[in-house]
Structure 1
Amino acid sequence: MQTTLRACKSLARVSLEHTSLGCATAKEPDLIQHYLRIARRWLWLLVLATLFTGAVGYVIAKQQSHSYSASTRVIIGPGLESPDPNLEELRTAGMLMQTYAELITTRPILESVIGSLGLQTTADRLAKSVSLHSDDTTRILTIRVEWDDPSEAVNIVNAIANVLINIGPVGSEESEARIKDQTRTQITYLEQEIAGLEATLAQLEQDFEAATNREEKRLYGDQIALRRAQLADASRSVISLEQSLMQSQTNRVKIIEPAVAAVLVDPELELTVAMAALAGLILALVVVFTLEFLGDVIRGEEDLVGLTHMPLLGVIAKHKPLHGVGRDHFVAYSMPESRTAENYRLLASRLILSRYRATPAARPLPAAGQDSQSQTGALTPAERPFRSLLISGTHINGAGSSEIAANLAVILAQTGHRVILVDANLHQPDMSGLFGVSNRVSLSNLLAGQPVEGQLTPLSWLPTLSILSSGPIPAKSFDLLASARMTELIRELEEQADLVLIAASPLLLYADSLILASRVDGVVVVAEQGTTRRATLVEIVESLHAYGASILGVVLDQNRTSRAARRALPAAAASSAGNGAIQMQSVGRVVK
């Protein structure tokens, strides 16, 4: 009783939502909404890929060894102490700076540094740790070394600067200072000598003036000329030495800022993690784009409606596999409160409403000898609700459509409708296994000429539902299902039930399903999400239209991953109860 009330509530809700055939065709979503739905569908992948690659980047960054950086700065050419450096000297010093920069990373220089410090490394490794920055304008060369040990980093960079100084013509500051001190000492000595010469010269001039004879004056004049020559030489030497002190040194290397301490090099952890996470997000977006826009399978409701332009009758949500036989196998019966069961109730409600609004495809004229009342007294297809409904899909073994047909039959029967479920999949039948019923009365029997009246037995646990299993698999299933007897059988079954549901073989794999589709009142196409190919679905719809079938709508099945588990039914459930089944030869004779 509760199940019937639940189905009635679903019917009421659907009747408020839909006022036309079955369910209204979904409106074309705008581009933004379409992309938002895709983003929501793949949000788990985008988040997972971003977090995973970010975590990998974090681990890699943390595992990297720490290094320390030390730097020193040297100036090439005239310094600030130069009183009047000319442009040519500065230009020459700038070119010399580039030469020194190249020399720093040469093997002799680096091996000299390694030897002086006693480092346990090679010149190649040390060269990779040295970086240079030169400024032609200021003539300042910055030498930077990254090393594992902070104290060694300081020693290495200072040693490189000292090697540069030593290979220059001026040498170290101590050597330059020593030369300057010697020059200043020499200048002092010459200045003292000049003072003595000036005093001597003054005395000689006085003696010259005091001399009375010619010979004395000539002697004093020669001494005065000699002292004046000595004074001039000494003065020129002093001027030359003073100029050498003030002269700019173009080819000179001087440390202006030695390395004192090394600093820890920032491993850029945040940047590394951010870049790794961004790479993961981009990779996930590429995967989503490939699957959504380059893949050829149905991904969701929008794909299904957009391709078929048919009403979406329902979406069957994914559920856990049920391994029982009979009532325990059906979601509609075993899990009535589940989302999937509610999906089946909505589907059944929409089909019930559609019965009184659809216009079934025209049927062929009655065969010769048929009751004339069926020709004149019956309602036309447009005047009465449909009585027969074929359910088929695209899955290669028909598992999805068969299970949907079975659950739908249970739901419809629970609402009080008399339902007959026919297993017309003569290639891979499974209804007898699903319901655990006997093959005593089967489709093969009835097609062989056995009358329908009194042969169908309702289920004990659901009296309003009768199952017509397929029976033995015939050798010529197409001949049976395409025969006039099959058309007559559908009419006979319609007289005994409110609804006849026919579970058929996959539509494109077997032509007999397309023939049956043209002989029933309506067709429901089942597509499996993530499995059904778009081109296949389009071809199915076009084929059904070509055969004149009336398509009521489409159903999206989201249970592709767990279908194989639910298909693992006991094969003996149908075969062991096959008492009274006809032989294949008998079926062949009837068809002929």
Structure 2
Amino acid sequence: MREQILILRRNWMLIVSFALIGLISAGAISVLMPKTYTATSNLFVSTQNVETSAELQQGSVFSLNRVGSYVELVSMPQVLNPVIENLDLDMTPQELATKVKAGTSRNTVLIEIQAVDSSPQRAADIANGVVASLITSVADLERPTNGLPSPMRLTSVDTAQPPSSASSPKTPLNLALGLLYGLALGLVVAILRHVLDRHVRTEADLRKSTDLPLLGGITESTRHTSRPTILGGAGTEAFRQLRTNLEFAAVSQQMKSLVITSSQAGEGKSTVALNLALSIAQSGQRVILVDADLRLPSVSSATGLEGSVGLTTVLIGRTSLAEATQHWGTGGLSVLTSGPLPPNPTELLGSDAMQKLVKELEAEYDTVILDAPPVLPVADTAILTRHTDGILLVVGATRVSQHNLSKAVEQLSLVNANVVGAVLNRIPRSGPDANSAYLSDYGVTPLPVIRDNDGGPASPVAEAEAAIVRDSQNSRALSKG
């Protein structure tokens, strides 16, 4: 039941759209369809020259047996040809037969004649003409050979009158059917879309693809930007929880260097790497964030640090590690940007110089965070696993398919990578796939907007520093008071 409700919540706009399309289509068809009118006349079938009750009973049974034959006779040319001649109709008996319908109820001797035409007067004339022609035809067919009158008698019960309203199109019925058919088609498409959709949207979808432990969940940022961003409020608490879960995941082994990667591009690995490094630094550790994505680096643009010197200039010996390292914020976070993009990133990351650099960083810092390229497009991350202690796999909700996630985990297992776990990133804040467990703002006080010297919004670090200074000043003022 929950899955069915989830299908409806995910696809309600699609279902409503199909229902509206069905409703509009039915309305258009009703408007474009030509109007037709139906005239009705009735005949009573009986026997004549009956004198005793026994003959009456026998005649009633005989009439019931004859009614079915008379109904079939209505569509025969013998009945329809005289109608065509009398009304001067420009059609064949076969064409007229499509406009005339005869029927009878069970165990009755009443025959109902219906005639349909675009003209109400002509529909009535056709119905009355068929009744008169059927009476004449039955009298001729049932006349005995000895010249006596026919034992069967057909009597017109009522005369067809021109109808005052059209019988077709039935606009209310068409609209109702269009709405129902649209809803049904929308439900079918929604179910097919759900069955064929293999994107990782929830924790349940993630567990279908991999047995990796889920170490955390990060809601999507309210800032719609393609660059990595610093998450505040509930996002900060989510990374603190991720930091704690990482500590417990690595309790049985030393893990000083951690590679942050994803299956494919666009899952938010750089945002996770930046926020995780900042969260660990806020706990009092010395942390360095290394932008090891030498194809599409983003750390320098996100932090506003110098990007002309960095990892590549250190690896080729152009600059020293101390010269290329930059500090960011007031905590113990250092950043090593990517530097100029090399023509051979895979070979450079797999070189002895890279292995020596990682060892040097592990000796100097408590934690080394490496923002690595995605696993599936390139082999850079698989190369980095030789030099590092563990890998954290970022899974972008609605961004990666279950197949690609399984393939990325399989590819990492082939190189014996130590994947410590996964983090579900970009969980929707609202909608059917939102998870309220990751939306809590318990104890979080929103910070006021701080402007920089140019009048624009300051960085989240500057906002936090300003709030701390302001709180300290307020505390001192209260103590003096």
The TM tier, using the shorter chain, reads 0.7 to 0.9
* Unaligned segments of structure 2, at least 5 residues: 142-146, 429-481
Bigger Cα displacement from structure 2, 312-321 vs 128-137: 312-321
- Aligned counterparts of 2:179 and 2:78: Cα–Cα separation in 1: 44
Instruction: Answer yes or no: is the 8 Å Cα contact 2:228–2:270 preserved in 1.
Output: no
User: Paired residue for 2:239?
Assistant: 348
User: Paired residue for 1:83?
Assistant: 51
Residues 404 and 280 from structure 1, CA distance in 2 versus in 1: closer, same or farther, beyond 3 angstroms? farther
User: Paired residue for 1:311?
Assistant: 214
1:131-187 deviation digits (Å, cap 9, x = unpaired): 11035743332111233333332222111111222334479xxxxxxxxxxxxxxxx
2:163 partner amino acid: A
What is the root-mean-square deviation of aligned Cα atoms in Å? 3.8
Q: 1:71 aligns with which of 40, 46, 57?
A: 40
1:525-576 deviation digits (Å, cap 9, x = unpaired): 12233442212212333444551414232223369xxxxxxxxxxxxxxxxx
Instruction: Answer yes or no: is the 8 Å Cα contact 1:414–1:462 preserved in 2.
Output: no
Instruction: Answer yes or no: is the 8 Å Cα contact 2:22–2:178 preserved in 1.
Output: yes
Instruction: Answer yes or no: is the 8 Å Cα contact 1:110–1:126 preserved in 2.
Output: yes
User: Paired residue for 2:464?
Assistant: none
Per-residue deviation, 1:476: 4.2
Per-residue deviation, 1:484: 4.4
Higher helix share: 1
Residues 490 and 256 from structure 1, CA distance in 2 versus in 1: closer, same or farther, beyond 3 angstroms? same
Kindly, what percent of the aligned residue pairs are identical? 27
- Aligned counterparts of 2:354 and 2:3: Cα–Cα separation in 1: 44
1:80-159 maps to which residues of 2 (within 5 A)? Answer: 82-84=50-52, 85=55, 93=63, 96-107=66-77, 109-119=79-89, 123-134=93-104, 137-159=107-129
Residues 50 and 71 from structure 1, CA distance in 2 versus in 1: closer, same or farther, beyond 3 angstroms? same
1:349-407 deviation digits (Å, cap 9, x = unpaired): 12222243221685xxxxxxxxxxxxxxxxxx2xxxx5433211112x46732344345
Per-residue deviation, 1:502: 1.2
Secondary structure in 2 matching 1:446 = helix
* Unaligned segments of structure 1, at least 5 residues: 1-31, 172-243, 324-328, 363-380, 560-592
Secondary structure in 1 matching 2:205 = helix
User: Paired residue for 1:44?
Assistant: 13
- Aligned counterparts of 2:305 and 2:343: Cα–Cα separation in 1: 23
- Aligned counterparts of 1:542 and 1:361: Cα–Cα separation in 2: 24
Residues 146 and 319 from structure 1, CA distance in 2 versus in 1: closer, same or farther, beyond 3 angstroms? farther
Secondary structure in 1 matching 2:102 = strand
Instruction: Answer yes or no: is the 8 Å Cα contact 1:505–1:513 preserved in 2.
Output: yes
User: Paired residue for 1:175?
Assistant: none
Bigger Cα displacement from structure 2, 529-538 vs 517-526: 517-526
Secondary structure in 2 matching 1:438 = coil
Q: 2:335 aligns with which of 462, 467, 471?
A: 467
**TM-score for the superposition, normalised by structure 2:** 0.72
Instruction: Answer yes or no: is the 8 Å Cα contact 2:46–2:109 preserved in 1.
Output: yes
1:127-526 maps to which residues of 2 (within 5 A)? Answer: 127-134=97-104, 137-169=107-139, 249-260=150-161, 262=163, 264=165, 265=167, 267-309=169-211, 310-311=213-214, 313-317=216-220, 319=222, 321-322=224-225, 330-332=228-230, 341-342=232-233, 344-359=235-250, 381=254, 386-395=255-264, 397=265, 400-406=268-274, 408-409=276-277, 419-449=287-317, 450-459=319-328, 465-497=333-365, 499-517=367-385, 519-526=387-394
Instruction: Answer yes or no: is the 8 Å Cα contact 1:413–1:462 preserved in 2.
Output: no
User: Paired residue for 2:461?
Assistant: none
Secondary structure in 2 matching 1:42 = helix
User: Paired residue for 1:567?
Assistant: none
Per-residue deviation, 1:263: 6.1
Bigger Cα displacement from structure 2, 121-130 vs 283-292: 121-130
Aligned residues: 418
Residues 282 and 413 from structure 1, CA distance in 2 versus in 1: closer, same or farther, beyond 3 angstroms? farther
Residues 399 and 343 from structure 1, CA distance in 2 versus in 1: closer, same or farther, beyond 3 angstroms? same
Instruction: Answer yes or no: is the 8 Å Cα contact 1:361–1:548 preserved in 2.
Output: no
Secondary structure in 2 matching 1:356 = helix
User: Paired residue for 1:198?
Assistant: none
- Aligned counterparts of 1:161 and 1:390: Cα–Cα separation in 2: 91
Residues 475 and 331 from structure 1, CA distance in 2 versus in 1: closer, same or farther, beyond 3 angstroms? closer
